[in-house]
Chain A
């Protein structure tokens, strides 16, 4: 794999991100912030404490995580699709010495960086309007979850963007898989709300490992090693799958 070529593609994506970040930020922040204000503040009085903490604090980590992984997924899926089907830029890369693995790794890393940048931005905004302060140690543990989470969603985006030729399919996958998975993974309610029989199933989802694990890390500084292992193995498998699927598609 050529590092120089992959780095060139990633730098290109970062240049484009730098140019659009300011105009994009409002849209990136608006969605989680609306949810935060409506549920965290508006409904707080009705909900009270959840797992011993105020509801607004309960959902804050999940909203940051959601923003990051959504951004990672969207960037990867649209970028892959757009560069492959609309601009044919992937083809222009492929007649240079950069390898196919180099291209897909660059795109994965770009999706991941988008997720991280946007997640951090939302985190900053939420911390501005709430009285809670998370200790730096908690933030560091939280990143242990957020990083593989963003990688996982970026890989999912690369896979979707590689396999899907029509833009409407991309929207459908987002509505049918991505959003339900995020919402069911304990973003808005504790896992204990599920019927007993379902809990083990929900706990085995990598998205649960991400959202539950990330919240525990941020709120209490606890690291759930079970969740961490599940998340890292899934992210690694997704990475291998993404590279393999992209290479196969390119060899057609």
Chain B
């Protein structure tokens, strides 16, 4: 089966700056694929190459088996694009924006009228369809851009940071819409938000400095971070008193003491009973399993927090 997106040794240089470096990626058809990376990682550069807006310096990129270098027109019929910056026409109403897009895709009037009605309804914009985008909130504008990208029934939808700058409510609204349209097409989205990738994407790739660092499902990525389980124990008194006791346990991989708290990384969760036995008789207020977050995966791989 042809992959939705394939890149081979894809590179893009702006003068001396390498924005994309020997990038190899394969995105299978269907589902939501998330590309996660800090500012300047090269996400937009990759999307611009995949959507035929920009030529790579070297390497190849294929969309549904079509090479971006030689078959850009065929590709543009298949893709829907939500760019990082809203590119709405502020001199056209919301509906006219969608109509223009349909005409650019050479859709017949009879079919696009119905499609636009459906989309405006789906994205909650039907009541405001004759207003100009300037009078829309940021969230509504974003939804309109997503709706526009869907008018011609694309097979692959590219979303470049679909929710950056939106408040949590609007963000959740966009997530719901994206989830509701997934399934019928391949969705490729970039984001800074780990929560977004975690919530939406079946597969996640992490990139920085133009390079692909790792990929997998959210769970796989979290597991790959460390084989061990992380626990936090809160004592009645100062945790330092238990340093010796805990230090003697062979299955503790890493131990951090701070105030009345100890953070313990175990080789595997079976060691937990040994740990509890060793601490028996002491005042323990709470033992909790610390969930790994994608943020930790991210920091461990890119060496820094996400810069929003």
Taking Cβ atoms with an 8 Å cutoff, the residues of A that contact B are 2, 4-5, 7-9, 11-12, 15-16, 19, 87-89, 91-99, 251-252
Contacts and interface: CB of A to CB of B under 8 A. Distances in A.
B79 interface: yes
A11 B87 CA distance: 19
A92 B51 CA distance: 11
A15 B51 CA distance: 29
B91 A16 contact: yes
B55 A4 contact: no
Contacts of B54: 252
B53 A87 contact: no
B88 interface: yes
Contacts of B88: 87, 89
Interface in B38-89: 51-55, 73, 76-77, 79, 81, 83, 85-89
Nearest to A93: B104
Q: Give 9 nearest A-B pairs by CB, closest first.
A: A8-B103, A88-B87, A96-B104, A92-B87, A95-B81, A4-B106, A16-B91, A5-B104, A98-B104
A97 B92 contact: no
A24 B103 CA distance: 28
Contacts of A88: 83, 85-87
Nearest to B77: A97
Given A12-B100, A89-B87, A95 B79 contact: yes
Interface of B: 51-55, 73, 76-77, 79, 81, 83, 85-92, 96, 100-101, 103-106, 148, 152
Given A12-B100, A96-B76, A91 B91 contact: no
Contact of B51 (A2, A16, A19, A95): A95
17 contacts: A5-B103, A5-B106, A12-B92, A87-B90, A88-B85, A88-B86, A89-B89, A91-B53, A92-B83, A92-B148, A95-B52, A95-B81, A96-B76, A96-B104, A97-B73, A97-B105, A98-B104
Contacts of B86: 88
Contacts of B76: 94-97
Contact of A92 (B79, B101, B106): B101
B105 A91 contact: no
Given A8-B100, A15-B96, A91-B53, A96 B105 contact: yes
A69 to B, nearest CB: 24
Contacts of A96: 76, 101, 104-105, 152
Which of A11, A19, A98 is the most central at the interface, judged by chain B CB atoms within 10 Å of its CB? A98
Q: By DSSP majority rule, is chain B's interface helix, strand, loop, or mixed? A: loop
Contacts of B81: 92, 95
Nearest to B133: A87
A4 B103 contact: yes
B100 A95 contact: no
B106 A2 contact: yes
Which of A7, A96, A97 is the most central at the interface, judged by chain B CB atoms within 10 Å of its CB? A96
Which of B86, B104, B105 is the most central at the interface, judged by chain A CB atoms within 10 Å of its CB? B104
Given A91-B87, A93-B104, A95-B52, 11 more contacts: A5-B106, A7-B103, A9-B104, A11-B103, A12-B89, A16-B91, A87-B89, A87-B90, A94-B52, A95-B81, A96-B105
Contacts of A8: 100, 103-104
Nearest to A83: B89
Contacts of A91: 53, 83, 87
Contacts of B77: 97
Contacts of B148: 92
Contacts of B85: 88
Contacts of B73: 97, 99
A16 B91 CA distance: 7
A89 B83 CA distance: 11
Nearest to A86: B90
B260 to A, nearest CB: 55
Nearest to A13: B91
Nearest to A96: B104
A248 to B, nearest CB: 12
Nearest to A103: B104
B161 to A, nearest CB: 14
A4 B108 CA distance: 11
Contacts of B55: 251
B107 to A, nearest CB: 10
A17 to B, nearest CB: 10
Contacts of B90: 87
A55 to B, nearest CB: 41
Nearest to A3: B106
Nearest to B90: A87
Nearest to B84: A88
Contacts of B79: 95
A243 B90 CA distance: 26
Contacts of B89: 12, 87, 89, 92
